[in-house]
A and B are shown apart, each in its own frame.
Chain A
Amino acid sequence: MPITESEIIKLKEQAKSIRHDIIDTTVWSGGAHIGGALSMVEIMTILYFKYLNIKPEEPHWEERDRVVLSKGHGGVGYAPVLSARGYFPKDELKEFNHFMSNFGMHLDSLKVKGVDVSTGSLGHGLPMAVGLALGARLQNKSWKTYCILGDGECNEGSVWEAAMSAAHFKVTNLITFVDRNKMMIDGRTEEVMALEPFADKWKAFGFIVKEIDGHDFKALSEAIDYAHSETKAPVLILCNTKKGRGVDFMEDQVKWHYGSIDSDLAAKAHESVNRG
């Protein structure tokens, strides 16, 4: 169903609120991967607040859609989304990274409600997502699997091994996103290890590629609707994004891949999000 203007307004508000929560959680945590958390906010927001068929009060509901955050270091961006969607109270995020907490930087599926798969070592998510999607198909289940990759993560050979198998097995109940923020830890992707022509690589591996602005809800919605309707080949939604999006002093700054912020900086970050 095409997205409406009022839906977009609501999603924008939700995304703003998630960004505030990410900033707070980063302060509580003492340090987290804030840059890549902020770049994927719209992707995670539209999934959790428009598309996913889930029951937060019943996290292990058999018929639920599955999500694999392959860029597992985005945990500080994922946990606030799960909390906002009702999996657990926001207060629990105050324990992020703390001794004996359920929340480490990379979320553990056995400890955090709503997390389907433990990730954090890059290049593991897409293979597991292919397995989930194949499993659903084999058992005649209608649920879908959504996988979110980092662009730097696509240096890993295992990503391409999984891509090859997704196309080969025609896994069309899998919807894959790449958070193309053009940065990794040591610098810009094109300087550290060039990915371009990136869309062509995915096409060569048998994917149908939709390249969009990953912060634009309308574009995201159209791409996801398209992916749902496609039955011949798996779809890759290549989301052009900005690392640190929404916090002016973090935007497109490689040093904010991972960082900690004190309350002064947090106040500035919140202000920046409010200015939107």
Chain B
Amino acid sequence: MAKEVTGTTWTVYDANTMTQAEIYGSVLCELGEKYPKIVGLSADLAKSTKIGVFGDKFPDRFFNVGIAEQNMFGVAAGLAKSGLLPFVSTMAAFTAMRGLEQVRTDICYQNLNVKIIATHGGVSFGAAGTTHHCTEDISIMRSIANMTVIVPADGIETACAVRAAVEWPGPVYIRIGRGFEPTYYQSEDYGFRIGKAQTISEGTDITLICCGITVLQAAEAAKMLKEQDGLSVRVLNMHTIKPLDEEAIMKAVLETRRIITFEDHNIFGGLGSAVADVIAKSGKGCAFEKAGIPDCYCVVGYPEDLYCHYGLDCDSIVNKVREVMGRDFEEDESWEDEV
């Protein structure tokens, strides 16, 4: 029979492993059993975001509002006010931009317990073009008071984040990708905690601070750099952008004195900017670079190609590290004379 591949998520057939969104869907079903207050909402993307499996299991607790994101976030706010625990899913672009005022004013201003899982973040829906990319959401969401912002590294970490969000008070924004982002973690028992960076590898020469798809790439890059250049590269999975693990960042500043951030996001306002805030406030010197989408509308293409194009794949990370290591940075042992 001819091969048919339909649905808006990558490949529906030939899936050996579950996608990030699929894992999210099944975890939410599991949580739905345990927490009768959980309700689900989507806006004609129940299938693509995988929240639909929750709807199949709990049809009375699921509302597909049609293609009407602003209404959806308003309805979620109302459901939360009534005492329920809404999980809301649509694409990141239609969350952080189309539904933004409802997210900020209806949900966050009133500090409501609404959990948002935004799919197709960054340029993960590459071929769809700019209308379906979202390289602004981390920046937008972290500037909204009361909001917690999480960018999981993969499907396993998405599962951890979704579970943690249930018990975490107030609004939470979890940003995931579209489809077959490869996994870094093998199982959920590695000690995920909201607001606490995960050390992927220890190192003393330089620190790579990552979130989302760049975690796996940086982990691989660190291994290559150790073998080929004898470099000791620290890799931090900064899955929670807000509240930010400032302690882990300052430790990296003091111990490695060189930091590069990698994110599938505009270089303005996202993870890199959040890290830069911490460094600037400390008054400590540090070689610093932000890698991401360089303040432009991303070209069209499949995400793997786009990640290479914008320097977020393993080889580009290796090259970036070599560049920053070669940079003439004043390694002043003592900071006594600095402010």
Q: Tell me whether A and B are bound partners.
A: yes
Report if A30 contacts B (CB, 8 A): yes
Report if B200 contacts A (CB, 8 A): no
Q: How far is the CB of A58 from chain B (nearest CB, A)?
A: 25
Tally of chain B residues near chain A (CB < 8 A)? 38
Q: Which residues of B contact A107 (CB under 8 A)?
A: 129
Report if A193 contacts B (CB, 8 A): yes
Q: Which residues of A contact B2 (CB under 8 A)?
A: 261-262, 264-265, 268
Report if A118 contacts B (CB, 8 A): yes
Stretch at the interface among B33-41, B214-222, B297-305: B297-305
Most chain B CB atoms below 10 A, which of A105, A118, A153, A184: A105
Stretch at the interface among A39-47, A120-128, A129-137, A171-179: A120-128
* Size category, A interface: 35 or more
Report if B186 contacts A (CB, 8 A): no
Report if B287 contacts A (CB, 8 A): no
From B129, which residue of chain A is reached at the shortest CB distance?
A: A104
Interface residues of B (CB under 8 A from A): 2-8, 42-48, 52, 64-68, 70-71, 93-94, 98, 127-132, 299-302, 305-306, 309
From B301, which residue of chain A is reached at the shortest CB distance?
A: A99
Stretch at the interface among A7-15, A79-87, A162-170, A252-260: A252-260
A91-125 contacts to B (CB < 8 Å): 97-108, 118-123
Q: Nearest 4 A-B pairs (CB), nearest first?
A: A193-B66, A120-B131, A104-B129, A99-B301
Q: How far is the CB of A256 from chain B (nearest CB, A)?
A: 6
A99, A120, A152: the one contacting B44 at CB < 8 Å is A152
Q: Is A104's CB under 8 angstroms from B67's CB?
A: no
Q: Is A108's CB under 8 angstroms from B130's CB?
A: yes
CA gap between A183 and B132 in the complex, in Å = 21
B6, B68, B128, B132: the one contacting A193 at CB < 8 Å is B68
Q: Is B6's CB under 8 angstroms from A259's CB?
A: yes
Q: How far is the CB of B178 from chain A (nearest CB, A)?
A: 12
Q: Is B299's CB under 8 angstroms from A157's CB?
A: no
Q: Is A259's CB under 8 angstroms from B66's CB?
A: no
Q: Is B305's CB under 8 angstroms from A184's CB?
A: no
Q: Is B64's CB under 8 angstroms from A99's CB?
A: no
Having A259-B5, A265-B3, one finds 20 other A-B pairs with CB under 8 Å, namely A30-B127, A31-B5, A98-B300, A98-B301, A99-B300, A99-B305, A104-B130, A104-B300, A105-B127, A105-B132, A119-B131, A122-B67, A152-B67, A153-B67, A186-B52, A192-B64, A258-B7, A259-B6, A260-B6, A261-B2
Q: How far is the CB of B30 from chain A (nearest CB, A)?
A: 22
A235-276 contacts to B (CB < 8 Å): 255-262, 264-265, 268
B64, B131, B305: the one contacting A106 at CB < 8 Å is B131
Q: Is A121's CB under 8 angstroms from B65's CB?
A: no
Report if A3 contacts B (CB, 8 A): no
Q: Is A120's CB under 8 angstroms from B128's CB?
A: yes
Interface code A181-209, partner B: CB below 8 Å = 1, 0 otherwise? 00011100000110000000000000000
